[in-house]
Structure 1
Amino acid sequence: MVYRQLARTVLFRLGGGDPETAHERVLNGLGRLGAVPPAVDALAKVFGPRRERTVFGVRFPGAVGLGAGMDKRGVALRAWRGMGFGFVEVGTVTRHPQPGNPKPRLRRLVASEAIINRMGFNNHGADALAATLRELGPPGIPLGISIGKSKVTPVAEAVEDYRYSLRALHGFADYFAVNVSSPNTPGLRGLQDRAQLDELVGELRRETLALADALPPTPLLVKIAPDLTDHAVAEVLQVCADHRVAGLIATNTTLGRGGLDPADVRAGEDEAGGLSGRPLTERAREVVSFVTAETGGALPVIGVGGIMRTDDALRMFDAGASLVQLYSGFVYSGPPLVRAVNRAVDGR
């Protein structure tokens, strides 16, 4: 409550109230914090988890991770452990550097505890991220890297685009997340169609096997949209089974605008982009539950979407998630939410 009433108010006013400017300033501040290991260690003792778990062959010190999109370029990589996270996912990164979509492209809908973004995979490219990770060294917690298609790359050439990023970043990642579900890159969601996904995942799986110094190879996960029908999700699961994908990330942001507070409906309708936060809570959990039922729990799932309170996280685990990620929940509630979820999970 103190965070939400005091710290959040100050943070939301950074940069004159522009969400993207505030976001960058907070990341830069966390980057400076990460350069002081004793401070990170001290914070980790306060906010961090106590119980390890192993999922798709990776040992996680805690079940709560930071979702992709928060720290695309790894600016604050060494600080996230101090915020209580048991793993962090950077990116989404693309083969080619790209500025993303025109600004403004990020909006908070505070009454709905939601965020709309149309960032468009703004990043410095896979080679630049590799250089950053090489300079910073390991973050002290497992690192996932989300890879996506460059905007300038035709869909027909998407496989090579993803493969380039995987090659450039192999050796840094504890797992790769194949992002085929962002609504902000034209044509990207079409890669969730069975035939295209089958080709993409098949090639990336072969690449991880070829690059592996020893078996097993780096785990490959697929991130899906919450807007898929059950039939479409089932087809994605078949592709995952065919190519022995290590896990699924459910879900990305939604193009829907249901569940908004009445005060935010007009703004939500006027703003293009993917919606995250409280309006996504129920749908994300439904997708995780469906995946668990379809696979009999055999395919590990990272549950993400609308985890704004401790109960949201616990219900996501009850739906079958092996791990969870925070994004909007962290924006609105900060490290105290990470700590609360960690303590609730550790107490189970």
Structure 2
Amino acid sequence: MKHVLESVENQFETFQILNEDGKIVNKADMPELSDEELKELMRRMVYTRVLDQRSIALNRQGRLGFYAPTAGQEASQLGSHFALEKEDFLLPGYRDVPQLIWQGLPLHQAFLWSRGHFAGGQFPEDVRALFPQIIIGAQYVQAAGVALGIKKRGKQAVAVTWTGDGGTSQGDFYEGMNFAGAYKAPAIFIAQNNGFAISVPREKQTSAKTLAQKAIAAGIEGIQVDGMDVLAVYAATKHARERAINGEGPTLIETLTYRYGPHTMSGDDPTRYRSDELNSEWEKKDPLIRFRKFLEGKKLWSEEEETKVIEEAKNDIKEAIKKADQAPKQKVTDLIGFMYEELPVNLQAQMEEYQAKESK
């Protein structure tokens, strides 16, 4: 049995296209992206890094509510999203707001969602996504259901979901993959392995050598990817999408990545469980630095272009937070009214009570 386990684990080698110096080490799997697409991918990564920096500052100023930093995970988040189509359906976790924004969610609504404002969850009709899931791993079960619905409707689309390494320790993780595998539903399950489920190291969550190998128990395809390599993440997701729409079933993608900030801005102190040496090791793998070197080597990127993106992001964020500030203050009657099309008797009584209070 030990021999069987080792033979399985040894099959999951880390898939990579660009090394830390931005050099191609895997020409065979280099995705076919135009120069403009490569530049757009970099633009989104730079924009998202600025968004993260400003969101942290806004949170500290008390102008945002819940916020989970994303710096370090741009390649994992945006490389996977860039491989999708507009008709695909997103089921993000709470750290996956960037994917929603690039799916079309207005930035001011992302800020309102952070504040817990109901308008933050009222997505435009053309944004095919659910708002971020707070319950760890629950989006995996939801993704399986959405994917089955897509299949039954005969649509050429996929349901895509993300969770962290901590999410793979939840029962929903296995249940979602097993259900999707049994029905060959067009789902892509992405496990962003950033090393820590809040403060618990990955190696203390599971005896599995990789998270990708957990796909085997569900009878689906699995792959481990260098999550700091945006081209590798893109290529793996593109392959998974093609499999899914061709009726070959779901895929589990483990991305090896790192979050440079705390788990969330709600009091987590990463210095208590992460060493300076570990931080330095992963900073050398920064997805933006790696991809920037690659693009500069192709004469596709410059300091001037990056500065332009940074300024664009800052201006967009300034306008979005201003618009979020102008949103009407929430009332209890708003929350009661949104719960049901027809209020049950007990809520009718509460509605009348609060309408009377709010009219004073």
TM-score class normalised by the smaller sequence:
0.3 to 0.5
Larger radius of gyration: 2
Q: Relative contact order (C-alpha < 8 Å, sep 6+): which is higher?
A: 2
Compute the TM-score of the two structures, normalised by the length of structure 2: 0.32
Question: Which has more helix, going by share of residues?
Answer: 2
Question: Which has more strand, going by share of residues?
Answer: 1
